[in-house]
Amino acid sequence: MPLSLHAWLFAILLAAGAAPAATHDARQLVPLPDPMQRHMLANMRDHLSALNDIIHHLAQGRLDEAADTAENRLGMSSLPRHGARHMAAHMPEGMRRIGTRMHHAASRFARMAQEGDRDAAYRALADITAACVACHGAYRVR
């Protein structure tokens, strides 16, 4: 058999599904009208940027600024700004629940940071990122 070791490895990798993840995407597709999809992805980029700002504020010991950023850009106060009610109407129930969990966690973070309770603030921060991860693992829009 002239088959090289490389060829065997390649065949085994293919069989094992080591092809790019895109061919094996178990996330649920949530179809959104185009403008809404753009709006949502812009919100998402702001979520990441807000998270970055929060962590920077924390690292500098600026708990009040961290609290303000979390409340106004991720927390319950951010909902009108994100057009959340309109958006939520297009989401499956499970996705909506994770979104609500994230907004609540952000507001909880803001309260804890305002009170100067760093440990509780970090726990709430971990709840925020857990919601990002949970939703991204379960849903896609394109």
Binding status of residue 132 toward ligand HEC by CB under 6 A:
yes
Long-range contacts of 85-91 (CB under 8 A, 24+ apart): 86/36, 87/36, 87/39, 87/40, 90/30, 90/32, 90/33, 90/36, 91/30
Of 48, 56, 81, 137, the residue at the interface with ligand HEC (CB under 6 A) is 48
Q: Which residues of 8-33 are buried (b: 16+ CB within 10 A; e: fewer)?
A: eeeeeeeeeeeeeeeeeeeeeebebe
Q: CA 43 to CA 36: how far, in whole Å?
A: 10
CB of 98 to ligand HEC, least distance (A): 4
Q: How many Cβ atoms are within 10 Å of 126's Cβ, its own excluded?
A: 12
Q: CA 1 to CA 7: how far, in whole Å?
A: 12
Number of residues that bind ligand HEC (CB under 6 A): 20
CB of 2 to ligand HEC, least distance (A): 43
CB of 4 to ligand HEC, least distance (A): 37
Q: Which of residues 88-117 bind ligand HEC (CB under 6 A)?
A: 95, 98-99, 102
Listed ranges 5-13, 15-23, 46-54, 110-118: which one lies at the site for ligand HEC (CB under 6 A): 46-54
Nearer to ligand HEC, 100 or 114 (CB): 100
CB of 68 to ligand HEC, least distance (A): 16
The site for ligand HEC (CB under 6 A) is made up of 41, 44-45, 47-48, 51, 74, 95, 98-99, 102, 128, 131-132, 135-136, 139-142
